[in-house]
Structures are given as structure tokens and as C-alpha cells.
Amino acid sequence: MLWVPQDLSQVCQVHTTVTSCAPANVIFLNLIAQIFGSSRDKQTSAQTNQYEFSKFILGGDYTHEYFENPENIKKEIKENEFDFIVVGAGSAGCVVANRLSEIPEWKVLLLEAGSEEPEVAEVPAFAPLLQRSSVDWAYLTQPSPTSCLARPGGRCYWARGKVMGGSSTINYMIYIRGHPEDYDEWEAMGNHGWNYDNVLSYFIKSEDNKNKDHLNFFFHGQGGYQSVEYFPYQDKNVFRIIDGFKELGLPEVDQNTDDLIGVSLLQGTIHAGERLSTNGAFIRPIRKKRSNLVVKTNAHVVRVLIDKRSKTAVGVEYYLKKRIQRAFAKKEIIISAGAINSPKILMLSGVGPESHLKKIGLHVIENLPVGYNLHDHTTIDGVLFALTNKTATSVADEKKKFDVFRYKKTHSGPLSATGPLQVSAMVKTKYEKSRSRPDIQYSFDAANVKNFITDPILTAESNSNPLAYYDGFMVRPILLIPESRGYILLNTTNPVYGAPLIFANTFKERIDLLRVVEGVKQSLNLLQTKSFNKLHATIADTPLPACKHLQFGTDEYWSCVATSYTATIFHPVGTCKMGPKHDKAAVVDPRLRVHGIKNLRVIDASIMPKIPRGNTNAPTIMIAEKGSDYIKFRWLHDKTSFEQTQNKNVFSLYY
């Protein structure tokens, strides 16, 4: 069995009244693992001796006989040489590997630290089951005085995909691009070529929109690798939520145009009732057809090998099948490991903040602000609308099993969709000065009201209920334009295999908290609409434990909820910021080349100088499409650069 669900025994108490910890739920998870736990792709397994490798990589002494013999290095390079190496098979890496391998003469290596994509990930309603499972890095933030105060140890959970497809394999499949002015803003920051007119063609290039006839054709494409369409199933509550926002004056819009403010029935990265991750869209169709593409899973890349004299990236070092392995690139290395792991790999390679790297004991090759400018789309737990039996979709265990087998056979029914999460609304609060851009987005998470009121922390940690079944909504006001900035550092105890230290600094800037509280208050207006009266929706007004000393519903109460029960929709960006050379906060230039290092690029969400006002998966795919063209332009048209690279001295590797 490839996929292993979260071990609930680690978080659940023996006599808990939270149903997600009940034996019936454990049995259900085991059933899902048995039916959907394998992968349709070839499996490669490897075990890692973490201590041994960490000791080797940070030992600092690389003068043993192997490296003193140039013939050994020549032989190793010859046997493990590629034109390009792509590190990370996530939302960006799968796209880059596909586009580069379109050139038959180029040999491309794609390395992924996680496993093959399991079938369970393809079932839309099973998205919550993937978190904290074997395909999730399951990172935690560091304690902060302004957020996550009620979470265990004051740390918030950040899901990140450790699997083919990366976070596009474990996310909630929402396809939203952001506002056109977001990208115009990128260009205004010195990033030539990144305005909306330039990037729109790359959004369209990858898209195969199955519902284009119902949308503004100017903004959408067909024939690309990434299928985008409406989910095939909606319960009645989905349309009642949309009608509620329309009663409040919001228009129904396509939020992938130039008009985001309004309410939408969302499209997802799915095809015929199944999730279509970037692995499924960009790699699976070509993997067995292109002999110039090599994919290795369970290959944990530790660092880029950089010629320290010429500052040229020449290869990578990774761990696979219980041993250290190396691969070398004749042209370029592309880091696409995401906003958490891309900065980690760069720092382990000697590229990062000088003072921090020296403290770890790493040789500094290039002093850059790697890991800084971290920001995310923050939200909160605690705004809970309860439903009655008339509108709740909760079902008995036998009905769940019936739906499982129905989906397995037909890819239809409640499990083929994401329940109320198919609705997105975007609004302006009184703090937003832009004329046309929103600062708050609303999503509606399926919720078990009794569970949450009984124990909000345990409910969050043990959530494995399919999105189709709920007796209430967790209304999430999502902060679209955070001003707070955090940073990432290497783990000082175990820099290689230890989880990086994530200092999110959520709500460090007070305006972020004010926007979220205002977003909460605006969402409560839905309860006054006729549509929500038909839903029999009411506010669950039991004060949460950490805030019970405050009057429910006041600004002070909601501020307490926000700082105590802080959450995220898992959109970290910015840690390898894109910017011109004079931008002291920039790590890569507008062509995504790492400043000061030759033949090394970063292509993923970490390069975003500022987060778009919308979900980040579609923008990350766009970045990968555009970045791939930058690479093609260089090597297919710039012969001078190619010739210079061929003459590099491979014997001064950073060993």
C-alpha cells in the first residue's frame, strides 16, 4: 500500500467525544486506504538513513581519495549527466519538466522527494484525508506572540505536498488566478515582462477549459495540458450560498477575468470527476512516451553542487535507495521545491543569508536574502454556521461506504466534488483603498458543528471527513493582501533532514487583523438573507475556549479567535523573491535566475514578490510556463551562453 493515512491514535484521546476519533472513522480510513491506497503510476521506494546522511553532508571534509582523483569525477559526471535537472515535481516542477522535454535533444531529470501519486488523491472529496498523511510534509510554524496562540505549542500546521504533483495533489483544486493589477504591480516592482498582458497568454497556454462556452472566451483556453472545469456534483446548499451573496448585492462573476469582486461557482483542476494534479496533467501523459525524460521519486535533494570559483551550478546531490547520489547538468538546474523547501535547498547549497549560513557551519557562496519575504493567505477557524437536519448532508456510515463504491465505479456522486467549497466570494472591506480589487475572499468549509464546539483543536488535528458530508459551514474570511512578512531558517539541530524553522509572523502588522475581523462581521450579514433562512443556518454562538472571557460577537472576541485559532489555506509564497539586481530583497531576477549564480533558477511560488489575490496553484503553473520559455529562449537562441558553459571547470566543485 503506497498511501498511509494519518495515525489518529497519535492525536485522539481514548474516550473522546469527537466523532473523527471514533472507531468507525478509523475503520473508514482503513477502507479508503485499501481501495485507493495504490498508485496508477510506477512506484519507486527508498528508505533514508537520515542521521548518516546528515552527518556526511555537513561534515565539511571532502578531501578523501575519491574526490582527489579527477578520473573518478569524470566517470561519475559521464554516467549521470543531463541537460537539465528539475528539483521538485510539484505544481511548477511537473510543468517545467514537461516543457523542457519537448525538445527531443534535451535530456531532463525530474527529482521528487515524495512518492508516486496515490489514487486516494484523485477523489475530490477526500482532500482533507491527505493532510498529515504520508504524502504531506506536515510542517509547523514557530511560536508567535500574535497568532496560533491556542494551537498546541503555539504552532500552526502548514500542509505541503510530498508527492508527485506536490501541493497540487493535496490541495482543494480551486482554479483562480488573481487580479490583473496584481501582475501589473509585479512589473512596477522592477520585474519587466510580468504585467498581466504578458502573463495572461501563459495562463491560457496551459488551460484546457471544459466549460469555456459558459465563460468569457477571451480569458480562457482549450487544448492545454491542465483540465479545468466545474465539479460534476453540487448539493442544493451550494446554490443557496451563491444566492445569499447575490441578495447582499454581489454580482455573479467569473473570478478569472478582470472582475473579481463578486461570487462564483468555482472551477477546479479536475477532469471527469477526478483531481488532475500537475503530475496527472503534465507528466503522466508523457512519462512513458519521452525517452529523454527521467523521473525519480523518493529522491530527496539536499543541495545544489556549485563551482565555488566560477559560481556556476553544475549538479545536485540527493539521497535515494539508501545511498548518496549525484546528477550533473550541462545547461541548468531548476529548483521547484516550493516556498518552504526551495529556500532550504538554496541555503544548504551555500546560497543565503551569510550570518545564518555561517552559524550553521556552511560555506557561503552567495549572500542573498533567501527565506525572507514569506507571506501567505491567512484565515481563521471559529466562524461557524450550523444547519438543521433539513439541510445538513451528514450521512450514516453505510451511506458513506455506498458512496465510496459508487465513486470507484462511476467517478460520480457526492465524492466527485468538494461540497460547499465550490463557492468563492470576494469583497472589499472599509480598509481596502483599491477601486476594483478585493481584500477578503470567503470560502465555506464542510464542518461538523458538534465536534468543533466540543474540541476545536482536536477537531482540526483529526479532520478526515470527506468534504461531501457536513452539518454546518466553517465560514473562512481569507486575507488576500497580507502586509505581515515572515522568514524561514534552517533547522540548527538537523539542517538537512530537520524541518525548516518557519517564522510566519502572522498578524504582526495590525492592519491584517483588522481586515480579517471586518471580514468576519461582513460574513454574518448572510444570516439575514432569505437564502440562508431557507438553509436554516444559524451562528454557533458558543464561545471558543481560548476566548470565553470575552463577549461573543464583539470585535475583541473575533480578534481573540483570529490570533488564537489562526489558520491558513496553505499558500506560502515569496521566499525567493523576484526582483532586479538593485532590489536588496530579491533572490532571483525577472528571468528567475538566482542572482550571482550561473545556470541556476528558481521556478515556483517562492519567486512571487507579492501574493496574488486568489488561490496560488494557477499562478504557479503560469510561472512555470513562462519560466520554461525563458530557458528555451536562452538555450535555443543564445549560443554565446551555451559555449561559455561548455568550457566550465568541473573540478572545482564545492566539495
3-state secondary structure 503-561: ECCCCCCHHHHHHHHHHHHHHHHHHHCHHHHHCCCEECCCCCHHHCCCCCCCHHHHHHH
- For residue 73, what is its C-alpha cell? 569525477
CB 372 within 8 A of CB 585: yes
Q: Tell me the C-alpha distance between 123 and 466, whole Å.
A: 10
Q: Tell me the C-alpha distance between 420 and 414, whole Å.
A: 11
pLDDT recorded at residue 76 = 78
Is 301 a known ligand-binding residue?
Answer: yes
Percent of the chain residues topping a pLDDT of 70: 92
| Torsion on CA atoms 57, 60, 63, 69, rounded to nearest 10 | 40
pLDDT tens-digit readout, 172-192: 999 999 999 999 999 999 999
pLDDT recorded at residue 43 = 56
Residue 80 predicted with pLDDT over 70: yes
Q: Tell me the C-alpha distance between 468 and 418, whole Å.
A: 6
Sign of CA dihedral 317, 319, 324, 328: negative
Residue 655 predicted with pLDDT over 50: no
Average pLDDT estimate for 11-31? 88
* HSE-CB for 175 with a 13 A CA cutoff: 31
Average pLDDT estimate for 104-122? 98
pLDDT tens-digit readout, 257-311: 999 999 999 999 999 999 999 999 999 999 999 999 999 999 999 999 999 999 9
Q: What string of DSSP letters covers 400-424? A: HHHHHHHHHHHS-SGGGS-GGGGEE
pLDDT recorded at residue 29 = 95
Residue 641 predicted with pLDDT over 70: no
- Residue 230 one-letter amino acid: Y
Residue 350 predicted with pLDDT over 60: yes
Catalytic residue among 571, 582, 595, 637: 571
Percent of the chain residues topping a pLDDT of 90: 88
- Residue 488 one-letter amino acid: I
pLDDT tens-digit readout, 446-467: 999 999 999 999 999 999 999 9
pLDDT recorded at residue 1 = 65
pLDDT tens-digit readout, 381-408: 999 999 999 999 999 999 999 999 999 9
| Torsion on CA atoms 75, 80, 85, 86, rounded to nearest 10 | -140
pLDDT recorded at residue 214 = 79
Q: What are the chain's domains?
A: 8-15+131-181+233-277+376-568 (3.30.560.10), 50-117+279-369+573-652 (3.50.50.60)
pLDDT tens-digit readout, 528-558: 999 999 999 999 999 999 999 999 999 999 9
Cβ-proximal residues to 493 (8 Å cutoff; 6+ apart), any chain: none
Average pLDDT estimate for 399-425? 98
* HSE-CB for 442 with a 13 A CA cutoff: 33
Q: Tell me the C-alpha distance between 126 and 37, whole Å.
A: 12
Residue 614 predicted with pLDDT over 60: yes
* DSSP H helical ranges for 143-285: 180-188, 196-206, 236-247, 278
Q: Tell me the C-alpha distance between 133 and 202, whole Å.
A: 33
pLDDT-derived band at 490 (thresholds 50, 70, 90) equals very high
pLDDT-derived band at 58 (thresholds 50, 70, 90) equals very low
Residue 640 predicted with pLDDT over 80: no
* DSSP H helical ranges for 103-153: 127-130
Q: Tell me the C-alpha distance between 615 and 599, whole Å.
A: 30
pLDDT-derived band at 66 (thresholds 50, 70, 90) equals very low
Residue 70 predicted with pLDDT over 70: no
Is 650 a known ligand-binding residue?
Answer: no
pLDDT recorded at residue 639 = 53
Residue 325 predicted with pLDDT over 60: yes
Q: Tell me the C-alpha distance between 435 and 170, whole Å.
A: 34
Nearest CA among 528, 516, 532 for reference residue 427: 516
pLDDT tens-digit readout, 364-380: 999 999 999 999 999 99
Q: Tell me the C-alpha distance between 183 and 197, whole Å.
A: 9
Sign of CA dihedral 297, 301, 503, 583: negative
Residue 646 predicted with pLDDT over 60: no
Residue 165 predicted with pLDDT over 90: yes
Residue 55 predicted with pLDDT over 60: no
Number of H helices, E strands in the chain: 20, 26
Cβ-proximal residues to 306 (8 Å cutoff; 6+ apart), any chain: 312, 313, 314, 349, 350, 351, 365, 597, 600, 653, 654
CB 185 within 8 A of CB 441: no
pLDDT recorded at residue 94 = 98
Of the given ranges (244-248, 255-259, 596-600, 635-639), which has the lowest mean pLDDT? Answer: 635-639
Determine whether 571 is an active site residue.
yes
pLDDT-derived band at 49 (thresholds 50, 70, 90) equals very low
Residue 470 predicted with pLDDT over 90: yes
Nearest CA among 66, 206, 276 for reference residue 624: 206
